[in-house]
Every structure is written in structure tokens, then in C-alpha cells.
Structure 1
Amino acid sequence: MADDVFDFRPGAQVPLAGAPGQTAATHALASAAYRDSDIEKILDANNDWHQSKVKPGKLALFKPNLGEAFSRAVQVRMLGGGRAPLIQSFGIEPQVVVEHCLAASRIRRHRDSWLTAVMALCGLIFLPGLIVWLLVFQLRRVINKSTGRRSSTLASALLLGFAVLAVIFLVKLPFTGFWSWYGRAAVVAPVIGWVWARRICERTAQDLRDRWSGLLSGGGVGPKIPEAVPTHPNETGAEQLRQGLAKLSAEQQSNSVFYAGPKGILGMGTRWGSWQLAEELVPREPGKEINPFRSWDVIRAIHDQLRMLERGPLHTGGFPKPSIRHWIVTPIGENAGGVSRPSGTNVEAFQIKPHEVQRICNDQQFGSGDRHYLGVQFTLWDGQLVITMLITVTVLHETLRIEVTGHALGPVHPLFTSKPSPEKKTVAKPIRFWETKSITLPVVKPDEVVRLAVRAPFTWYPPLLDFLGGSLALPEPFGLRHAWADKPWRHRFMADDALRTATPVLRVVHAAAIKVLEENGVNTDKFGSRSGALSGQIQDVSPRKADVYDA
């Protein structure tokens, strides 16, 4: 299979940083791997078309937090064996996000190995006491599901009451001898283990929060994933991980995209504008025929002129250097649950070969099959805004049509750009009880220590944890960038940037096409008139749902 030919770089793959201008969106998504908030928070980032879901587990004590669930889901979806094809993540470096997920999982595994030892020494040996304490915390967790203050007070009273009973049990045991000392140890050892586990959890939680904050501040510590670098030929796990990262990078560079009807081109956003220039091909001189040319000749001329977009007559800034590529667009259903990438002799390492791109451009203009588009893409606002203008040229009978469409992908949801902040609580002062003060709560709460300690022995087999505690189901077809993207129209400057791009691109496209027509003996009077009309019309451009037809 051609899609399997992706590992074209020999040797160990060294993780690379994000490309210039794409760090903000990349780091925002990567920060989710280090977060310790509730898993349901991810549902706030659902957009109109892509809905993440939280699969419930069997026991609340095993429920993962957002960082644990996000890291696990992204790793399985993007590196798992036999995974489904991914949608390109324009504006970010998906490999960097995956590497941070791997690094976060590695930090948690190190913590869990210590917690497993604590559970073995202070819990497994004194199993009866551990079970009783866990039942109390589980009951307290059930009571705490209610957000009312009364239920919270009841949960605290339950824990305090059991602690009092435990002290009474230690003082007056109903039996003597060995079992009396074992009973005392069974009550005390889980408490000692909890204190020990809390110190381990707080140290790790602070490390994760520092990385979370560092990513959103523009710096931070880079991901460390030594398990992705094989040290000898028999290290199959590291080799598979290295190949998975290489495959991810190769698929990100694919020139094949998918059009999902009203959802637009997946990964590029919805089509917000469309401008068409369609006129008859008439010879410039009566009695003579025009010189034969093909759609590819026009597209190639447009491609050359678009490379000059970053240049202008005035020294006033202007366009940054755009990415100009030939895209092959495959139609899929609006609610398709997955995609299938082209394969065969015309595909190599997820790239459709140039001769096949040229053939599709010239031949597949009507009826079923893939279509060719020339795209000029701007990545702005540190990767938070991706503007794509697509150009296609078709010739049917004696009519040449040049269509320019605008696509815009907005910033990642604000959930991913929020920094960690300590949780605070307002309480009354001990002496001046009529006054209040604000206190900072611990980073790791008592219930969280119990949850992490209970989960730790099961981390060696993640599917069991998914069954017991639940997991995060990612939206399909999945791509890191478009799954959690907002619309750009809520941000005034981003909307302005998208709208301002259309006019100069349209004029360059028309000028290049008309020049090719003139060189081949075509009368361009009607083309010039229509181009002038469109040039005036586009100055009053406004975003709309161009893929939704009132029919």
C-alpha cells in the first residue's frame, strides 16, 4: 500500500518544535495534556459540527481528569495501530501536541509507580482497613455530586464522624493478641499512606501545572519522550512509536483534503464566500481559432503570480509569505464518520503525485471523482487564524470558469488558553468572625489523592482504566485543529483579516488568467468587464454560508 510508505527518514526521529508563527495554537492544545480540571470541561469546547463525548465508567473513584483523558484519547487516535486516517491540522504542529501528551503520560506513570508502592505497603497488606476507608470516600464522593452547601457539609461530617469512630476503635478493641495490633495497623496504615501519597501527588501536580502555565506563556519545558528513540534493534515498542510519529508528520503534509458539504473542507473551515468569472471563449481575430490550451496552463500561471502576493509597490507591510499548494478535494457525506485517503501507484507517502494532480486538473471537471484546487493559505495570529483561498479552473464546451472561494478557520476554543489558577475560598476570621478572608486551597484535594492512589495500580493496563473510570470519545473524522476551533467572525481583527484577503487574491487570479487567454488568442473583453464588476463587488464583501443553498 502506498500509504504505508511514510518512514522515509532513516534513524531516530528527534522531536522538533512547532513551525514559526504556529506556536500559540499548538501550545494551547498541548496544554490540555497537563490539565487537572474535570473531564466534562472538554464538552464546553464542542462546536457546531464536531462533538466530543465523555463515556462514563463503572466507578466514580476511577474517573479520569481532563489531562489524563485527553492524553490517552489523542495518543490512541493518532498513534494507535491500524488507526483511521486523520484530517490535517492547519495552523498547528500536531506532532508537538502528541509529544506533549506522551510527556504528560510519562510524568503520570512515574507518579503512579510511587503510588503503587504506597498502595502495596499501606493498603494491600492492610486490605480490610483500606476497603473501609475507600467505602467512606466513595460515599463522600456520591454525596458531593450535589453542588449544594448542605451536601458538602454532610460529606465533611461523614468523614469526621468515621474518623472519630476509628479513634474509638483504636482505644477499645473487641479482641486481643495479634489481631488487635493488626486491627490498629489496618486503621492507621491507610491514613499514613494517604499522607505519603498526598506529598507525591502535590509534587507531580505542581510540575504538571508549571508545564501547563509555561506553554501558554510562550515558553515552558519541551516534551521529553526517550521511549520514542530506539536504542537497539530489538526495542520494538520504541520503533513502533517512532514510526507512528513519522507517519503522523507525513500525513500532515498530504495534499488530499475532504469536502463535507455544509461543513466545508475539513481542516480548512466552512466556505464563507464564492466569486465566479465565467465567459465564452471567443477568438480575438474573427475567422481564426484560439491556440489550444488546458486548465493546467491557466492554473500554473495563477500559481506563479500568487507567489508575488507578499510583494507590493509601497513599504507598508502587507501579506506575509503564504503557503501555495495544489489540493485534491474528495467529496464525502456531511455526517460521514470517517474518511479514506487515496491509494495506489499514484500516491506516495500520502502525497498524490504531480502527474496525477495535473491529470485531475485537466480531466475531472464534471461528474463524479476528485477535483483539483489551487490554494493560497495564510497562517496568522500565531496559528489561531487560518485563511485559505481556493481557486479552480474549469472548461465546459466554450465556457471557461474561474472560481475563487474563501475558507476561514478560527482560533482554538478559549478553554485551551486558560492558565492554571489556585482555587480560593472565603471563610470567616477566627476571632473577628464578622470579617472574612480569602484562603488558597491545596492544589490536590483529599478526594483527588484517593482517586489517584486507587487508579495507580491499574495504569499498567489502560483499557481496564477506561472500562472502570470512563474515557473521552473524540469527534470523527478527527483532526486536532478543526475539532475545537471557534468561528473567526466573533473577533473583529480576525474577521477583517479574512475579508481583506479576498480582494487582492481575486485580482491576481483574474489578471494571471486573462494574460494566459490573451497569449492564446482569446478575446478578453468580456472577461475584463466581468473581472472589473467582480472587483467592485468584492469590496463590499461580507461573510456568509456559501455552502448552504436555499433550494
Structure 2
Amino acid sequence: MAHDGFDFSPGAQVPLQGSAGQTAATHALASAAYRDSPVEEIVKADSEAHKSSVSKGRVSLFEPNLGEAFSRAVQTRMLGGGRAALIQSFGMEPQTVVEHCLAANHIRKERDTRLTLVTVLFGVLFLPGTLLWIGVFQLRRTLAGSKDKKAGAIGGALLLGVAALAVVFLVALPFTGFLGWYLRGVIVAPVVGWLLAKRICETTAKDLRARWSDLLDGGGLGAKVPEAVPGHPDETAREELRHGLEKLTAEQRSNAIFYAGPKEILGMGTRWGSWQLAEELVAKDADKEIHQFRSYDVIRVMHDQLKMLERGPLNSGGFPKPEVKHWIVRPVGEKAGSVSRPEGQDVETFQVKGHEIQRICNHQQFGSGDRHYLGVQFTLWDGQLVITMMITVTVLHETLRIEVTGHALGPVNSLFTSKPSPKTVTKPKTVRFWETTTHNLPLVEPKEAVRLAIRAPFTWYPPILDFLGGKLSLPEPFGLRHVWAEEPWRHRFMADDAMRAATPVLRVAHNAALRVLSENGVDTERFGNRSSFLSGAIQDPSPK
């Protein structure tokens, strides 16, 4: 059984808090696995700080489309052996996206198996004709991609010319006997194989598009990944895949995150506000000393109070149930190519243990090392908006500082929310020429059927396809959500939600801190005045 020193066995299955109904972002990203648009479109959807790249291959006929490249890249990055640590994808379930990538690859493998059989029977056995037709299609594809319109027209004319010569050669063939019939097969068999391949591709294309559409409509068929269900102990590949999916979910639940300079906390989106309360610790009674307390004592009371944010004096809807969590923030470089999660006896299944959280909170407040933050996270808009308020408490000499920062992660790029549209052509009517009629075209064009048939025999070893046709390279450090997230400020209601969440969180954090200070003999007058000032200032989030 594959393992990394962790026990990822599922045990009792408990749903993640707040995960119900938050499927929009998950389904939008999962739909990319079934798409058939050009792969270059995904580069346009990248966020400004995280850019993916598409490497060009040696032969354009082997180029992957968006779904093929996305599924291959995500599967390799999220489940590959010895992979680097992943950034959490807040507001969604990355395992679901990976499972849909595996399911899409499984559907394509079944199609490619049938295409390979057709290629062998009608292509390899009649190789001279196959090479001739492939050469014509490759030349036509190259000319069609040229910016010169005349070159594209020449490519189409070339294909028609070769087809006409083939018909003439077929009729006026000078050979007889077996050689004559074989030469006729050399010309006819690749065309018959192409017709069969086109039919196979059309059926699969309809299936993939139906799954794409169903995901964006809010559900549809779940991802079926038979490769992740071991049938017996000797199926090590399936066991490793199952283990990889469980490890992915465990890492998603990790309480360790990364701060990358101007890129802020990776995966949490833009930091749009910061409010600091810092005052001197003075005893309430001059004759008595302050009772000893630590930063974690303040944090613990804040934690308990913030979990009550969903309750209010009025029945007005208000906050959904927030996720209040202790975070350990690790600093990394702005241009870091990878991140590493904490390891050792104080970490279990990617979770920093409670006693280590307390130690970091109380002692690592100055200088190098990890830092502690208390996070309040709201997942809204069906998972498309994630608002996170991060709180840290530090005590240096006689000054206690409470800092609250607001982070907002916006919706996934609109590329992932676009539904499939049928391929149509509009033509004038024969009699009523002033009127037009629209007809649906096949989903798979002739050149697409040729591309898929040529790629099919090589899918058993994907690195060959990467070399010949190119591949999608994902940006690092990689997380499924933040790479393709848009700014929430483009949506008025999302921006309002982010700003409205700040004031209640700030007030609850300050009130909890004032309560702890008062119980430990601290004069809270200055803290109260400063808190009132910040409570007013937070209501004016003007650019500064």
C-alpha cells in the first residue's frame, strides 16, 4: 500500500463545514476538463499574478485542445508522484475537479481505444495512402493557420485537388490482381477509416459536451473514476490513485498557509483593508499589577465569540455560519517556485497540532519564523466569493496590538462559466433568398477527426504527445482556485458583502479583547477609545 507516513484512510465520513451548496466554483473549473475549445483560451483567463503557459509542439496535428491539456496538466500536478505542496482552494472542493479530469480522461481513453483499432485496420495496413492523406491534412492545417488568407484558400484547394487525383487514379489504375486491389485500398481505406473515426469522435464529443453543460446547470452526472477503486490488494496503481485523492483532500484541510510578499496570502485573494489597535498595557489599579495572560488567552475568547456571528438581535438573515480557524502563516519569497508545508512531530496529516499553535501564537511574534492568525471565513455566492478576516494579537514590551485584515477572493474567470454552444451555419433560402435558415453542423470537423485519430495510438504514453503536440504548464505555487480568480470589485454586490463583513468582525474581536483585558486588571479606557475610532473609520473604506 502506498503511503507517505500518514494514515489517509477515510474512517468516519463527516461533511466539511459549510460545504453544502457551494458548488458553482467547483463545477465551473471541473467543466474545463470536458471542453473542446483551443487551449490558448485558458492563458487569457489567468489572474495577473499567476500566469500559465502553453508550449508549442513539433507537429500541429498533435496539439491538444483545452479539455485534453487541462485534464492532463491538473492530473499530473495534483496527483503526480513527489509533487510539490499545493495551495488551498477556498470555496470549492479540488478533489471533485480532479475526479472530473480523471473521468474525462477515461472517456477519451475509451474513444482512443476504438480510434486506435480503426487506425490499425484502415491506416497502418494501408500505410502509404495514410501517410499521403496525413501529409495533405498537415499541410492544409499549416496553411490554414497562416495569417495570409490566400494561403488558407490554397490549403483547401490542395485538399480538393488531391481528392480529385485520387478518384482519377482509382478509376484508371493500370495494375491488376492483388497489387491493384491493394493500391485501391491504399486510396479508399484511409477515407473509410476517417468516416468511422469521425462517427466515433462525434459520439464522444456529444457525451463530453453534455457533461460540460450539466455541470454548469448545477449538477448532472458525477465523475466516475473506476481507476481509483482497487479490486484486490495487488492493484497498486489504483491504490496509489486512491491514496493520492485522499492526500489531496487532507492537504486542502491543512491549517498552514503561505504569505508571498506583494502577492499576499496565497489562495485568499486581495488584501483590501487593515485596521490596527495598539495601546499600552496599564494596570487598572495603581496599587496592583496586571494579572499575567498571554496572546492565546485573548485569541481563545475571540474564537468563541466569533463563532456566534451568525446570531443577532433581529431576524434579518444576516451572516451565514462562518468558519473560524487557527492559521499558521509561513513566509515565502514573492517569486517562490514552490512551497513546503510544516513537518515533524508537531504536524499530523498536514495539520499543525494545538499545542504548537499556542506556542507560535505566544512566542513567535517578532523576527523570523511562522506566525499565528485567527481567521473568520465566509463562503458566499455559491462558492464564487470567499471573504476572510485575519486577526493577529501580539504583545511587545508593554504594548498590545490587535491587527485585523480583510481578504477577498473573487469568482472564477468567466471562461469557466460559459456553456457549450452548437456549431451552426446560416444560409439564404433557395426560393425566398431574402430569408435565411440556420442549420446545425457536426461537432467534429473533418480536420478534428483526423487530429484525434492521429493522436489516439500515442495516448498510452502521454509524454510522447507532450513532446509532439505541446502541453499546458500551470503556474507555481499552484492552487486550483486563485490562479483563475477575478477581482470581486467588478461585482457591486460582492464588493458590498466584503466591506459589510469587516465591521461586525472587527467589533466582536475588539469586544472580546477588552473583556480579557478587563478581567486581568488592565485599564481599558484607551483601548476602548481607540476601538471606537476604528469602528468609525472602518465604515469609510476610501482609497488611501
TM-score by length of structure 2 reads: 0.97
Is 1:305 aligned to residue 305 of structure 2? yes
1:547 aligned partner: none
1:154-180 deviations in Å (ceiling 9; x for gaps): 332222111111000001124333222
- Aligned ranges for residues 308-457 of structure 1 at < 5 Å? 308-431=308-431, 435-457=435-457
1:63 aligns with 2:63: yes
Q: Displacement, 1:262?
A: 1.0
Mapping for residues 161-172 of structure 1, pairs under 5 Å = 161-172=161-172
Distance in 1 (alpha carbons) for counterparts of 2:260 and 2:461: 37
Name stretches of at least 5 consecutive residues in structure 2 with no aligned partner. Answer: none
- Alpha carbons 2:8, 2:243 under 8 Å: kept: no
1:248 aligns with 2:248: yes
| 1:99 and 2:99 aligned | yes
In structure 1, the partner of 2:128 is: 128
Q: Following the alignment from structure 1 to structure 2, what is the Cα–Cα distance between the partners of residues 516 and 436?
A: 76
How many angstroms does 1:153 deviate by? 3.5
CA distance in 1, matches of 2:492, 2:519: 42
Quote the RMSD (CA, aligned, Å): 1.9
Q: Share of identical aligned residues, percent?
A: 70
Counterpart amino acid of 2:264? G
How far, CA to CA, are the matches of 2:98 and 2:521 in structure 1? Answer: 54
Q: Is contact 1:35-1:67 (8 Å) kept?
A: yes
Q: Which amino acid counterpart does residue 516 of structure 1 have in structure 2?
A: V
Distance 1:260 1:17, change over 3 A: closer
Closer, same or farther in 2 for the Cα pair 1:356/1:16, shift >3 Å? closer
User: How has the CA–CA distance of structure 1 residues 15 and 458 changed in structure 2, closer, same or farther, with 3 Å as cutoff?
Assistant: farther
Distance in 1 between residues matched to 2:305 and 2:542, nearest whole Å:
26
TM-fit CA distance, 1:428: 3.9
8 Å CA contact retained: 2:8, 2:247: no
Aligned residue for 2:185?
Answer: 185
| Secondary structure of the structure 1 residue equivalent to 2:283 | coil
AA in 2 matched with 1:175: F
Alignment of 1:26-175 (within 5 A): 26-146=26-146, 150-175=150-175
CA gap of 1:298–1:16, structure 2 versus 1, over 3 A, is: closer
CA–CA distance in structure 1, aligned partners of residues 434 and 492 of structure 2:
47
Instruction: Indicate how the Cα distance of structure 1 residues 377 and 438 shifts in structure 2: closer, same or farther if over 3 A, else same.
Output: same
- Aligned pairs, number: 542
**Alpha carbons of structure 1 residues 374 and 361: separation in structure 2 relative to 1, 3 Å:** same
Question: Is the 1:70–1:472 Cα contact (8 Å) retained in structure 2?
Answer: yes
Aligned to 1:549: none
Specify the alignment match of 2:524 in structure 1: 524
Structure 1 runs not aligned, ≥5 long: 545-551
Quick check: 1:7–1:243 contact (8 Å CA) kept in 2? no
Whichever residue aligns with residue 57 of structure 2, its letter is G
Offset, 1:146? 3.2
Equivalent position SS for 1:539:
coil
Q: Which amino acid aligns with 1:399?
A: T
Is 1:140–1:158's contact at 8 Å kept on the other side of the alignment?
Answer: yes
Distance 1:436 1:161, change over 3 A: farther
Q: Say yes or no: does 1:21 pair with 2:21.
A: yes
Farther-moved stretch of structure 1 (87-96 vs 263-272): 263-272
Deviation at 1:273, TM superposition (A): 0.4
Contact 1:12 1:229 in 2 (8 A): no
Counterpart Cα distance in 1 of 2:15 and 2:239? 14
Question: 1:10/1:266 Cα in 2 relative to 1: closer, same or farther (>3 Å)?
Answer: closer
In the other structure, the counterpart of 1:229 is 229
How far the C-alpha of 1:436 sits from its partner, in A, is 4.1
The residue matched to 2:539 in structure 1 has which SS? helix
- Aligned pairs for 1:206-217 (under 5 A) are 206-217=206-217
Helix, strand or coil for the counterpart of 1:39? Answer: coil
Distance 1:14 1:116, change over 3 A: farther
Q: 3-state SS of the aligned residue for 1:540?
A: coil
Tell me the TM-score normalised to structure 1 length: 0.95
- 1:429 deviation in Å? 3.7
CA change 1:14–1:255 in 2 (3 A) is closer
More divergent stretch after superposition (504-513 vs 178-187): 178-187
Matched residues in 2 for 1:421 and 1:431: separation? Answer: 29
CA contact (8 A) 1:18 1:93 kept: no
| Letter of the structure 1 residue corresponding to residue 81 of structure 2 | G
- Tell me whether 96-105 or 158-167 shows the greater mean CA deviation: 158-167
Deviation at 1:15, TM superposition (A): 12
Q: Tell me if the contact between 2:255 and 2:328 (Cα under 8 Å) persists in the aligned partners.
A: yes
Query: Per-residue CA shift, 1:405-437, capped at 9, x if unaligned?
Result: 000100000000000001223334445556543
Maintained 8 Å contact 2:8/2:250: no
